[in-house]
């Protein structure tokens, strides 16, 4: 773990410890006061290295800036405290004061608090995560138009940027140095467009990808990742890194001979093992490129592992998947299914939805899969009404 992440993890550990103690004793207890003070100092230091810290509750698990916690004490209790108040995510922002931290600890520890909704302050923002299914417990996602899947142009993305991204990929293919700055700009352009136009923008933004390893596929996975992350309340640098991770998740495929990638027939065992090597090749490559977020390296490595670790590469016992990798798995699956492959036509939306539902809990994190289907449903509804 790098030192920055260590400071963040430590600060949250001290916040959890203060909150658990405050629930047992009272805010006035010397031990609680001491722990609250050290939580304040820790979080202030952490906000010095990362301008914001996001805590997301997924089921009974807490995710800190996209990473699983490095500690386990008080975790479940804290996740429960947030969940019982309907809070899906908490964002701590630079400039956070001692009183705000103390008030947060007191509110979370309060016994009656479970019924009272917490309200955001200037530097502490609460958000809900919508992980509930529709009222009838079923999703009905249908395509518009009898023709099925439509080809939708990425019409608002400046042609210049698209050209630049193609150029970056081509350069990489020729083993030239990767220009990270260009990809950073593209991700920023997507995020800015979302802010301007909201979720319906996603509908017009995804393009038809003809190959799974092209920039089109990466851009689609990026859009779907951003939509999922935003629905989980993730913003700022982390949102940006999740977009970058999507753009670069399949970079390892550029080192695999094209004839294997586009082969119509069955792959030989050797070809198969070359193909399955792309996460490792990609991660190794990204590690050496300056300016690539660590999250992109982890995601490139983990994006085929699957929630139950039945995928590849094989993970050692006790491995915990990064939130971004788990989000990317779903976006990747969705876009791959929509893609025409040498051996099959694009799969229709209804079938993809039922496949995602079926794979929730095995290939995909069950709640993230459900959240994705909610996002998708909203996208389809927005497309209908536009």
In the complex with Fe ion, the residue whose CB is nearer, 212 or 235, is 212
With binding defined as CB under 5 A, does residue 235 bind Fe ion?
Answer: no
CA angle, 55 then 60 then 66, to 5°:
35
Which parts of 16-55 interact with Fe ion (CB under 5 A)? Answer: none
Q: Which of 247, 332, 365, 378 binds Fe ion (CB under 5 A)?
A: 332
Place of tokens 């590849």: 312
In the complex with Fe ion, the residue whose CB is nearer, 67 or 250, is 250
Least distance CB 261 / Fe ion (angstroms) = 11
Q: How many residues bind Fe ion (CB under 5 A)?
A: 2
Least distance CB 166 / Fe ion (angstroms) = 17
Place of tokens 């990362």: 50
Which parts of 238-267 interact with Fe ion (CB under 5 A)? Answer: 250
**Which two structure tokens, joined as six digits, stand for 117?**
């909704």
In the complex with Fe ion, the residue whose CB is nearer, 65 or 225, is 225
CA distance 57 to 87: 8
Least distance CB 212 / Fe ion (angstroms) = 6
In the complex with Fe ion, the residue whose CB is nearer, 241 or 250, is 250
In the complex with Fe ion, the residue whose CB is nearer, 241 or 332, is 332
Specify whether the CB–CB gap between 18 and 283 falls below 8 A.
Answer: no
Specify whether the CB–CB gap between 236 and 51 falls below 8 A.
Answer: yes
Looking at 75-83, 199-207, 284-292, 329-337, which segment touches Fe ion (CB under 5 A)? 329-337
CA angle, 59 then 61 then 65, to 5°:
120
In the complex with Fe ion, the residue whose CB is nearer, 55 or 283, is 283
Least distance CB 195 / Fe ion (angstroms) = 26
Looking at 91-99, 190-198, 331-339, 363-371, which segment touches Fe ion (CB under 5 A)? 331-339
Instruction: Annotate each residue in 146-165 with x if it binds Fe ion (CB under 5 A) or - if it does not, as one string.
Output: --------------------
In the complex with Fe ion, the residue whose CB is nearer, 256 or 379, is 256
Least distance CB 215 / Fe ion (angstroms) = 12
Least distance CB 213 / Fe ion (angstroms) = 7
Least distance CB 242 / Fe ion (angstroms) = 15
CA distance 16 to 11: 9
- Write out the residues near Fe ion by the rule CB under 5 A: 250, 332
């Amino acid at each position: 773990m790098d030192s920055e992440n260590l400071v963040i993890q430590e600060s949250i550990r001290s916040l959890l410890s203060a909150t658990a103690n405050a629930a047992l004793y009272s805010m006035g207890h010397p031990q609680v006061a001491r722990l609250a003070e050290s939580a304040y100092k820790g979080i202030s230091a952490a906000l010095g290295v990362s301008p914001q810290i996001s805590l997301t509750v997924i089921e009974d698990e807490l995710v800190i800036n996209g990473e699983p916690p490095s500690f386990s004490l008080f975790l479940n209790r804290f996740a429960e405290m947030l969940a019982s108040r309907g809070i899906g995510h908490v964002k701590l922002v630079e400039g956070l004061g001692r009183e705000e931290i103390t008030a947060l600890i007191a509110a979370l520890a309060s016994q009656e608090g479970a019924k009272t909704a917490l309200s955001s302050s200037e530097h502490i923002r609460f958000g809900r995560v919508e992980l509930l299914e529709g009222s009838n417990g079923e999703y009905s996602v249908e395509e518009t138009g009898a023709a099925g899947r439509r080809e939708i142009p990425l019409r608002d993305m400046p042609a210049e940027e698209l050209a630049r991204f193609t150029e970056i990929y081509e350069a990489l293919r020729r083993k030239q140095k990767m220009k990270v700055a260009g990809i950073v700009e593209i991700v920023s352009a997507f995020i800015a467009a979302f802010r301007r136009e909201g979720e319906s923008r996603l509908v017009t933004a995804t393009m038809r990808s003809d190959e799974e390893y092209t920039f089109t596929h990466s851009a689609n996975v990026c859009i779907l990742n951003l939509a999922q992350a935003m629905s989980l309340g993730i913003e700022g640098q982390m949102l940006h890194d999740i977009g970058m991770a999507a753009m670069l998740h399949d970079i390892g495929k550029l080192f695999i001979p094209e004839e294997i990638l586009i082969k119509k027939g069955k792959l030989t065992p050797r070809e198969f093992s070359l193909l399955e090597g792309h996460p490792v090749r990609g991660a190794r490559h990204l590690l050496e490129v300056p300016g690539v977020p660590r999250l992109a390296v982890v995601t490139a490595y983990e994006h085929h592992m699957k929630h139950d670790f039945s995928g590849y590469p094989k993970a050692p016992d006790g491995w915990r998947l990064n939130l971004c990798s788990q989000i990317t798995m779903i976006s990747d699956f969705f876009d791959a299914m929509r893609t025409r492959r040498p051996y099959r036509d694009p799969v229709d939306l209804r079938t993809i939805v039922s496949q995602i539902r079926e794979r929730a809990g095995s290939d995909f994190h069950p709640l993230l899969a459900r959240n994705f289907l909610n996002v998708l449903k909203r996208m389809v509804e927005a497309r209908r009404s536009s």
